[in-house]
Amino acid sequence: MPLVALPDVGGPAQPLLSVRGLQKHFPLRAGFLGRSAGAVQAVDDVTFAIRKGETLGIVGESGCGKSTTSRLIMALMEPTAGEILFDGQPIGHGGLTLKEYRRQVQMVFQDSYSSLNPRLTVGESIAFAPKVHGLDTRRAIARAHELLTAVGLNPTQFARRYPHELSGGQRQRVNIARALALQPRLLILDEPVSALDKSVEAQVLNLLVDLKAQFGLTYLFISHDLNVVQYVSDRVLVMYLGRVAEIGPVDAIYGAAAHPYTMALLDSRPSMDPGNRRKVPPLTGDPPNPVNPPSGCRFRTRCTAAEPICAATVPPLAPAGQDHAAACLMVLPGSGHSRAPAIAA
Amino acid sequence: MTDKLVEVHDLHVRFVSRDATVRAVNGVDFDLMPRETLCILGESGSGKSVTLRALMRLNPPRRTVMSGTVRVGGHDVLAASPRQLADIRGGVVSMIFQEPATALDPVFTIGQQIRETILRHEPIGRAAADRRAQELLEIVQIPSARRRLDSYPHELSGGLRQRAMIAIALSCRPKLLLADEPTTALDATVQIQILLLLRQLQQDMGMGVIFVTHDLGVAGEVADRIAVMYAGRFVEVGPVASLMRAPLHPYAQGLLGATVHAGARGTRLTTIPGAPPNLEHLPQGCAFAPRCAWVEDACLSAVPALRSPAPGQAARCVRVPDTLQDAA
């Protein structure tokens, strides 16, 4: 029985994936008796939706929770709180089973080598999941060959090779082919080009753009590279220390950022113009430790516009434009911050 | 005209093992003036880090075969005895690495590691060395420097660790600082801090700097000159502005086109087809020829010589006009 693409359930207006109040705390144990010594608040009250057919980019620095978010969505770990709906249906609890869910959501990781089984040929790796899902061996291998062609690798040349016989870019193509093997609707790409050289990075980005159109995919694209995220995304989510700092259309985020962290992140990019170099770093210091994050707004310890109110109030996401929201008291009308807009009458 | 700080002539580095010989660096020539910053730009396997390490002879001695000349601050590095080499390292030239967590010794405090370097090179007492260590941490802008002297590397964040490594490298006021991708492992907001710090220290201390990176943007922030490296050769050298605006060599042009930049959205990225050559079996001619859209017969027979269309600019490509042959 061949695999068939799974149907759209809720129609185009229903988000493909919604995440509500997602939270993941890793408890820390101290001492001989393993008493609780606080928790790493890796993801804290994160809410967003991925629309059908779009690419949502997530940017942020190390420790901001972007990879934990992707692993929670992939159901590779249990959230501390919050829920995930796929096309309107919950995962488990009488909704989609994990096996059904994983057919529709697949992931590509940063490290192309450690995410492939070194003892399987790339053809076997790609054919593995279709076999688990009921395809007979002959059909699964034919499918693997189709996919290798789709990602630009000649199957007669590559299907029998082992991962160590491929370059980094070729291995990442194999990972992408494997992720596509079950005809998923959502692809989670966690730093897929970060380990690649520039010339190869461009090849893989072009491939991802092509595959999205060819297979009608939706992408969640996670990266620390602002230029890459701008290139591939329709909307962008900026995370800082486990929380959403800002979310909006790519042009709004890059052209009219509302959160001071987003502005600093954008100003931290090299200028690409030797005649007009950066003079002053936009931020000082490193991101704080997520074990004991600052009270109130987590960015306040590095923010030049911070006021006492920022330590007392957790800023909610407030509208900052069309389809654009930022978690900053300077955006929230009547928040008590001196730069906040007045409440409209 | 002042004396050159670094002179490298016809440098070859090969790694020899029982199974194969890898030709990592295949004839590199360059000079560096005092107070100048040169960026070596290249992809993984291009030989950029091996070239940098050759300047301090840090490549594994048993497997490495080097030829050519390397002079740093008047010292002949390739001919130096182990004792002379130990004087040169740290005293004349020092290096900072990509990953401060592995480059620092985990069982000694930052203060001990700085003091060790100072006491090895200078005839001063421990108390003076300690004072100097604290000064150094202040120079690299580590907050509450006095307290941080007693910190172990694991107690510091990534950005602070990289600052501590810079402090160790600068502890004996070297004339030349070698930086091997020092910001690649850092977050964006920290990377720019470290780049600006290095640029300022270079000016304050009057050092020459050779900076290896794969990131054109990083090179644009710090370099006076850029050398683009491919398959163990400098394929293009030029002032930072002209190289970033109008590179001469097809590989450098491809690299510039493949770099994702603001404004690329909606357009197709230009790519360089294929992959870099195997350094065990280099082609006889131009190593980039198999990937080059402009390849002609002359490219395949011999490695193209450096051709220079304007002062300070040169590329190893037969298509580049050589108007300054006599001057070069």
The domain spanning residue A72 has which CATH number?
A: 3.40.50.300
pLDDT band at A345 (very low <50, low <70, confident <90, very high): low
- Assign a CATH topology to domain B1-92+174-272: Rossmann fold (3.40.50)
Instruction: Reply yes or no on whether the pLDDT at B130 is more than 80.
Output: yes
A199 close contact with B: CB closer than 8 A: yes
Reported as a single tens digit per residue, the pLDDT across B180-239 is 999 988 889 999 999 999 999 999 999 999 999 999 999 999 999 999 999 999 999 999
**Residue A27 maps to a domain:** yes
d(CA A271, CA A280): 12
The mean pLDDT of A129-134, rounded to a whole number, is: 92
pLDDT band at A290 (very low <50, low <70, confident <90, very high): confident
* Predicted pLDDT of residue A285: 85
Q: How far is CA A87 from the centre of its chain?
A: 18
The ranges of chain B annotated as CATH 3.40.50.300 are 1-92+174-272
Indicate the range of A4-8, A188-192, A235-239, B277-281 predicted with least confidence: A4-8
Torsion of the alpha carbons at B183, B184, B189 and B194, rounded to the nearest 10 = 0
Query: What is the rounded CA–CA span in Å between residue A223 and residue A236?
Result: 11
* C-alpha closest to that of B306 among B249, B226, B265: B249
Sheet with A17-30, side-by-side order of all strands: A35-50, A17-30, A81-86, A89-90
Lowest mean pLDDT among A63-72, A188-197, B152-161, B264-273: B264-273
> A77, A65 in Cβ contact below 8 A?
no
* pLDDT, position A325: 97
Do the domain assignments include residue A194?
yes
- Does A8 have pLDDT greater than 90? no
The 3-state DSSP composition of chain A as helix, strand, coil percent (nearest 5) reads 30, 25, 45
pLDDT tens figures, A46-71:
999 999 999 999 999 888 999 999 99
Residue B78, both tokens: 């390739």
Q: Is residue A297 part of a domain?
A: no
Residue B275 touches chain A, beta carbons under 8 Å: yes
The beta-carbon neighbor of B221 closest among A61, A270, A284 is A270
Predicted local distance difference test score (pLDDT) of residue A213: 95
**What is the band of B327 on the pLDDT scale with cuts at 50, 70, 90?**
very low
pLDDT, residue B205, reads 94
Q: Which two tokens stand for residue A63?
A: 């420790």
Asked if residue A152 belongs to a domain, the reply is: no
Torsion angle of C-alpha atoms B313, B318, B323, B328, degrees rounded to 10: 60
- Number of domain units in chain A: 1
Give which of B37, B8, B29, B1 is closest to B207, Cα–Cα. Answer: B37
The predicted structure's pLDDT at residue B2: 60
Interface contact B270-A254, CB threshold 8 A:
no
Three-class SS of residue A272? coil
The parent domain of residue A31 ranges over: 17-119+162-288
CB-based contacts of A146, cutoff 8 Å, min separation 6:
none
Statement: residue B253 has pLDDT above 70: yes
Contact A242, A298 (CB under 8 A): yes
- At residue B328 the predicted structure's pLDDT band, cuts being 50, 70 and 90, is very low
**Is B271–A274 a contact, with Cβ atoms under 8 angstroms apart?**
no
- Asked whether residue A68 is assigned to any structural domain, the reply reads yes
pLDDT recorded at residue B69: 96
A125 belongs to a structural domain = no
Task: Tell me which amino acid residue A274 is.
Answer: P
Q: DSSP assignment of B76-97, as one string?
A: ETTT--HHHHHHHHHHTEEEE-
Contact assignment for A275 to B221 by CB distance below 8 Å: no
Burial of B17 (0-12, 13-18, 19+ CB in 10 A): exposed
Q: How far is B63 from chain A (nearest CA, A)?
A: 23
Distance (Å, whole) CA A187 – CA A176: 9
- For range B53-74, the mean pLDDT: 94
How far apart are the C-alpha atoms of A6 and A101, rounded to whole Å?
11
Instruction: List the single residue in B with minimal CA-CA distance to A272.
Output: B217
For B254-268, write each residue's pLDDT tens digit: 998 888 887 788 888
DSSP annotation of A165 reads: G
What are the phi and psi torsion angles at B325 (to 5°)?
A: -55, -40
